[in-house]
Amino acid sequence: MYVKPKKELGQHFLKDLSIAQRIAELLTGHGTRNDGDAPVRSYKKVLEIGPGTGVLTQYLLTNDQFETFVIEIDRESVDYLKLHFPKLEGHILAADFLNIRPDLLPNKQPDNTEPFAVIGNFPYNISTQILFKVLDMRDRVPEVVGMFQREVAQRVASGPGNKDYGILSVLLQAWYDIKYEFTVDPGVFNPPPKVYSGVLSLRRNDKTDLGCDERKFVQVVKHGFSQRRKTLRNALKPLNPTEAALASPFMDKRAEQLSVAEFVQLTLLMKNEE
C-alpha cells in the first residue's frame, strides 16, 4: 500500500530512519521526579501529530515508557497505519489537531485533564498554529519535540537582540525552555521541501503564573513587535501607556531588545490601577 504525499496537506514524508530515531529519542519524560527510589514521569502518553506512514511512529512504539497515540487528518495515511501498525489499534485519532477539542486529546476521551507530550514532523503550513494550540494547553503539555521549517525553528528558539526574535519567541519562552536541536537537509524527505528543516525541543518551565495580567502581556508583546523598527514608545501608543510606563527606559528600546522578564515588567507598568 502506497501513500502519496499530498501537497494540500503539506506532507513531506521523512525517509531517513536515523533522523526519525534521533527525534524520538529526544523525548525525555520531562518533569520526572523521584518518588522514593522510583522515578515518576510527569506524563505517560505521547501524541504524534501527522504520522503519515509511521516512520517516526515505529520508534515511539518501541519505547515502553510511553503509550503512543497519533492524530492524522489524511484518510489514506490512517488506513496505512491501521494495516502496518497493529499496536496502534485504538490509538489513532482520525481528526484535525487544530480543530479537535483539547479535552479529547490524546485518546478521544472527553473531559481529559491528564498530561501528554506532543511530537511530530509538523506540516510547515500549520506549524505555528500547532504551537499556539500547545500554548493554550501548556498545563497539560510538559514536553514538545517537533520538526519545523528551519526559519520557524530559529525564530522560536531565538533570544533577545536577534533579528529572528519575535512574538512567537516571547510567548513560548514565557512558559517553555526551548532548544534548537539540529538541522535537517531537504533530501531526506519525499518529496523534498524547498527549505531546510530544524528540530526543536520545548520543555515546560516551572512557572504557573507570569506575575502580570496574561492578556495584557500578550497585547503588549504583539503591539511591540507589530512595528519592530520603532521604539516601544511609538509601537505601544495605541495601548495608551500609563505615566509609569512612559517613564520607563524600556520605552526607548525596540521590542526585540527586551527579554521575557522585561516584557513582564513593562506589562506591569502598562496596567492602570482599577
Annotated binding residue at 14?
yes
Q: What angle, rounded to 10 degrees, do the helices at 127-136 and 150-157 form?
A: 30
Cell numbers describing residue 183? 538541522
Q: Rounded to whole angstroms, how far apart are CA atoms 195 and 187?
A: 10
Whether the ω angle into residue 191 lies within 30 degrees of 0, i.e. cis, is yes
190 labeled part of a ligand binding site: no
Question: Binding residue per annotation — 96?
Answer: yes
CB within 8 Å of 253: residues ≥ 6 apart: 231, 232
How far is residue 163's CA from residue 232's CA, in Å, rounded to a whole number?
16
Q: Which residue, 261, 259, 265, is CA-closest to 247?
A: 265
Instruction: Say if residue 50 carries a ligand binding annotation.
Output: yes
Query: Cα–Cα distances in Å, from 8 out to 74, 97, 126?
Result: 11, 16, 11
All three cell numbers of 16: 531517513
| Sign for the pseudo-dihedral over CA of 180, 183, 184, 186 | positive
Binding residues: 12, 14, 50, 72, 96, 121
Q: Which residues are annotated as a binding site for S-adenosyl-L-methionine?
A: 12, 14, 50, 72, 96, 121
